[in-house]
Amino acid sequence: MAPLLEINKVSKRFGGLPALDDVTITVEQGELRGIIGPNGSGKSTLFNLIVGRYRPTSGDILFKGRSVIGMRPDQRARLGITIKFQITNVFDGLKVLDNVLLGLISSGRWEEAGLKEGLENQALSILDRIGLTEKAGEKAGTLSHGQKQWLEIGMALATRPSLLLLDEPTSGMGAEETRRTAEIIHQLKGDLTILIIEHDMDFVRTVSERITVLNRGVFLTEGTYDEVKTDERVIEAYLGRGRH
Amino acid sequence: MDQIILLQVLNTALIIGILVLVSLGLGIIYGLMDVLNLAHGEFLMLGAYAVVAANLMGLGLIAGIALAIVGVGLLGFLVERGLISRLYGRPIDALLATWGLSLILQQAVRLTFGPAPKPVVAPIEGAVSVIGMPFPIYKLVVLGVTIVVTGAVLYLFRYPTFGIKARAVLQDREMAQCVGIAASPIYSLSFTIGAALSGLAGALLAPLVTVQPYMGPVFLVRGFITVIVGGVGTLFGVVGGANVIGVTEGVVSYFASSVGAQVVVLAIAIVIIRLRPRGIFVRK
Amino acid sequence: MSSARLKHTVSTGLATAFLCALTGLLWYFVGGGPSGLQQLTTYLILGLFALSVDLLWGFGGMLSFGQAAFFGLGCFSYAVVTTGRIAPIPPEAGLLGLALGIAIPMVIAVLLGYFLFYGKVTGPYFTIVTLALAFLVSSLALTWPALFGGWTGIPRVPPLKLDFLGLSFKASTNAFFLAAVLCVLIVMLLRWILDSRFGLLVSGLSDNEERLEFLGASVARLKLMIFVLSAALAGFAGGLFAANSGYVSSDLLGITVSTEAVVFVAVGGRRTLLGALLGAIVVRGMSYWLGGVALEYWQLFMGVMFIIVVLFFQSGLLGLVTRLSGFFSPGPASKVSG
């Protein structure tokens, strides 16, 4: 079976600065892949390229065998690629329920004359999965940082993606919230393919099966948590040179 | 035939020069403060009327120009302090407020001077022979002045301390404030300079165009299109944009009509927004 | 939940009817009978135009200074058809004129919107482009006097007649009732649309355009639809205006009328439907009560209103009323803000 996502020799330069250099990564369907690396290694840039916020300077990105370069972000979302951004990006002025509803109707065809009832039930069940049912009627802007992240995950789920990109889903979360986030992601395993950027190593260990490591825009290595953890190059990348 | 073309070239250079003066001010204000100053055309109009007023008082054009620069500059300062500074971070509200201001200024002038156009006589009469065709000396003088002033402004924003600080704020406001550059006085001074430039343009233009209370908006629109096309946040870009727009207008109005030129310019602007959203002369 | 939507639509309709009735009585008794009503009718029609601007700006987040182009086209469509200017007067000329007044702006909006929105001309750039276009359109109209009547415009435009119903709207009271009924119906229709899925997408658009796009909605298409809807309403209002005032001229296409509508919306309350109508009535009404103010003071007055509203009354009059009474509710998926 063809891989779900293929990143082929992708480079991205901003002005003179190379954020990504000749990176090749393959993701199979159903995987739960962690993407780690020290700050500035290009992880978020990679996500932004996949989802269409930026255009690669060179290289190709294939989704389900088709190149997505040149496709607008909304086209990619309709194909099945959805992202939870690093900086929470929800509809602050709208109710939590409406936020999820928008996830449901944005990706589908909205000309269908409206039985909003069916959609509302779907939205409510998504809210249930992420644990925000009591907040359904409140404005998203009033949620805490962690709750907003869950909401954004819920909105992403509402688009029924094949590939879900989570950019630092536990940033700013305490231990309890992190645990709940891990639970949510575990429940999604198998249904869809998930890529997670994270700094919290324990979290990465519990949720992902394979881990890809980037450093300074370059692909460093790939493997299971244990393999990666003991890899000298990874240790050096995180600790910096001058250790030996 | 060549003579007519050369004349058209000189006229185009004049258009570009005036456009630069108007657009520099707009570009500074929009690039620095994210404020779309819809009253900018009225600053130009007030500059023209400063000359009218000077004439009425029996003073010459030089006095008129001085009055324009100082008077409109002062007005700009007051407007920035009193109105604009309350609306930073609220670009749509700033837009509406400056539109309201433009209406007020238009009507104030109309009530003071009357709606009829005021003729202004060029202070330097006579023409110079350019390859056998007469070209008014005054236009040459205006061209010269615009070049000198543009150079001065570009220099001001490039080198002295003010220039470096201003460009820092222009490029990345938050970063500049983190580094300790106080934005407020920079905004004040920049808005004042922008207004004064527009006033100067109006004063210089007074003998060349119809001076009436509603002359502003046409220059406003042209100015904004220039900034959009040339590049937001870069003053050289604005100069470049003025060249593009000026040449286009000059060429099209030579072959077709001036309304046709407006259409073409607008079409080009839309295309450029599509292809190079931050302007032609801005590095991607 | 759709019964909530129905309730919301009906209550908004009732509120509109109430507003029309109240102002109707006021203008009739205080304004000297039928002539007072005639004034009010004009305000209501301008309020419909302001509604179209509110739709585009308050709900869609796109400020345009050129909507009067559509309004003006509606005026001229009606005027040209009913005065037989370029072709013999057809039967049911009034209806045909109104229909054309809706269709032509829609077509132009589709073409223009396609270039603007798929060309990613948004935000302040969009506003400036509409400003430039407004100038362009009024200049162009003057270059075509056979159609647009040059500086003098088109006089003696007949009032609306619905022959198949045997109704004529020449008398002031008839015209007023027509305008009032249309206001109620249109407000209800807009409320119904805005409470739909489409309306939710529109709310999302003005709240966080980027997020909406990355969820899979075609933002350009959404904007285009709002733009076209707004143009249609503006054109319809234009046709009614021509029928009511009996005279059209090219300054109806220009900046002054466009900005007036923006003032109405800003004063009445952005992002509320009634606000547009209220703004038109209040602002125009004020000028009337101030004794038929001459044009130069009117512009000055509008300029001052702009600044005052921006600085002190961002939510407009309706926002003030909402805060005071807590009764009128703008709706589930919206916010009243400046």
Candidates C5, C59, C200, C225: best to mutate against A (most CBs of A within 10 A) is: C200
SS3 C195: coil
The Cα C297–Cα C308 span in angstroms is 16
How distant is the alpha carbon of residue C17 from its chain centre?
A: 17
Q: Do A106 and C216 touch (CB under 8 A)?
A: yes
C4 in reach of chain A (CB within 8 A): no
Q: In this model, does residue B281 exceed pLDDT 80?
A: no
The Cα C12–Cα C280 span in angstroms is 18
Please tell me what DSSP assigns to residue C58: I
Nearest CA in chain C to A53: C214
Average pLDDT over residues A6-12: 92
User: Would you list the domain boundaries of chain C?
Assistant: 2-254
Please say whether the beta carbons of C199 and C81 come within 8 A: no
Q: Please write the tens of the pLDDT for every residue from B68-94.
A: 999 999 999 999 998 888 887 777 788
pLDDT at C336: 36
Nearest CA in chain B to C299: B103
Average pLDDT over residues B127-154: 80
Please say whether the beta carbons of C64 and C112 come within 8 A: no
CA distance B208 to chain C (A): 21
Nearest CA in chain A to C120: A72
User: Would you list the domain boundaries of chain B?
Assistant: 2-275
pLDDT band at B196 (very low <50, low <70, confident <90, very high): very high
pLDDT at C72: 92
Q: In this model, does residue C233 exceed pLDDT 80?
A: yes
Cβ neighbours of residue C150 closer than 8 Å, sequence gap 6 or more: C142, C250
A120 in reach of chain C (CB within 8 A): yes
Please say whether the beta carbons of C226 and C51 come within 8 A: no
Neighbours of A144 (CB within 10 A): 12
Q: Do A107 and C200 touch (CB under 8 A)?
A: no
Give the predicted TM-score (pTM) of the model. Answer: 0.86
CA distance C329 to chain A (A): 15
C204 in reach of chain A (CB within 8 A): yes
- Nearest-10 crossing angle of helices C273-289, C2-30: 10
With b for 16 or more beta-carbon neighbours within 10 A and e for fewer, the A174-193 pattern comes to eeebbebbbebbeebeeebb
pLDDT at C145: 80
All chains having 3 or more CB pairs closer than 8 angstroms to chain B: C
pLDDT at C52: 96
Q: In this model, does residue C268 exceed pLDDT 80?
A: yes
Q: Do C216 and A107 touch (CB under 8 A)?
A: yes
Nearest CA in chain B to C259: B99
Which chain A positions have a beta carbon within 8 Å of C200's beta carbon? 98, 101-102, 105
**Mean predicted lDDT score pLDDT of chain C:** 85
Q: Do A90 and C201 touch (CB under 8 A)?
A: no
Nearest to C214 among A73, A117, A119 (CB): A73
Please say whether the beta carbons of C302 and C263 come within 8 A: yes
Q: Do C1 and A117 touch (CB under 8 A)?
A: yes
Q: Do C212 and A106 touch (CB under 8 A)?
A: yes
CA distance A113 to chain C (A): 9
Q: Do C259 and B99 touch (CB under 8 A)?
A: yes
Average pLDDT over residues B31-53: 89
With b for 16 or more beta-carbon neighbours within 10 A and e for fewer, the C324-336 pattern comes to eeeebebbbbbbb
Q: Please write the tens of the pLDDT for every residue from A86-119.
A: 888 999 999 999 999 999 888 774 444 345 557 8
φ/ψ of B71, rounded to 5, equals -60, -50
Q: Specify which residues B136 forms β-bridges with.
A: B127
Please say whether the beta carbons of A34 and A208 come within 8 A: yes
Nearest to A110 among C2, C197, C203 (CB): C197
pLDDT band at B142 (very low <50, low <70, confident <90, very high): confident
Which chain C positions have a beta carbon within 8 Å of A156's beta carbon? 215
Question: Which two three-digit tokens encode residue C205?
Answer: 């658009």
CA distance A77 to chain C (A): 5
Q: Do C125 and B95 touch (CB under 8 A)?
A: no
The Cα C292–Cα C262 span in angstroms is 21
A116 in reach of chain C (CB within 8 A): yes
At B139, the amino acid letter reads K
**Burial category of C53 from C-beta neighbours within 10 Å (exposed 0-12, middle 13-18, buried 19 and up):** buried
Cβ neighbours of residue C220 closer than 8 Å, sequence gap 6 or more: C117, C118, C120
pLDDT at B46: 95
Please tell me what DSSP assigns to residue B278: T
Q: In this model, does residue B132 exceed pLDDT 70?
A: no
Q: Taking the CA atoms of B43, B44, B49 and B54 in sequence, report the sign of the dihedral they define.
A: positive
Topology, domain B2-275: ABC transporter involved in vitamin B12 uptake, BtuC (1.10.3470)
Candidates C307, C308, C311: best to mutate against B (most CBs of B within 10 A) is: C307
Nearest to A91 among C1, C208, C332 (CB): C208
pLDDT at B284: 41
Q: Do B100 and C305 touch (CB under 8 A)?
A: yes
Q: Please write the tens of the pLDDT for every residue from C112-127.
A: 999 889 888 888 788 8
CA distance C7 to chain B (A): 34
**Mean predicted lDDT score pLDDT of chain A:** 87
Nearest CA in chain A to C221: A74
Cβ neighbours of residue B25 closer than 8 Å, sequence gap 6 or more: B40, B43, B193, B194, B195, B196, B197, B198, B223
Q: How far is CA A233 from CA A37, A196, A201, A220, in A?
A: 11, 21, 16, 8
Nearest CA in chain C to B219: C132
Q: Do A106 and C215 touch (CB under 8 A)?
A: yes
pLDDT at A193: 93
Listed by number, the residues of chain C in 303-332 with a beta carbon closer than 8 Å to a beta carbon of chain A are: 332
Q: Do A90 and C208 touch (CB under 8 A)?
A: yes
Residue A157: CA count within 13 A, CB half-sphere = 22
Q: Do C300 and B263 touch (CB under 8 A)?
A: no
CA distance C63 to chain A (A): 20
At B30, the amino acid letter reads Y
Provide, rounded to the nearest whole percent, the portion of chain A with pLDDT above 70.
93
Q: Do A83 and C213 touch (CB under 8 A)?
A: no
Nearest CA in chain C to A97: C333
Q: Please write the tens of the pLDDT for every residue from C136-177.
A: 888 888 878 878 877 778 887 888 877 666 677 777 788 888
Domain over A5-239 is classified CATH 3.30.450.20: no
pLDDT band at A236 (very low <50, low <70, confident <90, very high): confident
Q: In this model, does residue A207 exceed pLDDT 50?
A: yes
Which chain B positions have a beta carbon within 8 Å of C129's beta carbon? 266, 269-270
At C183, the amino acid letter reads C
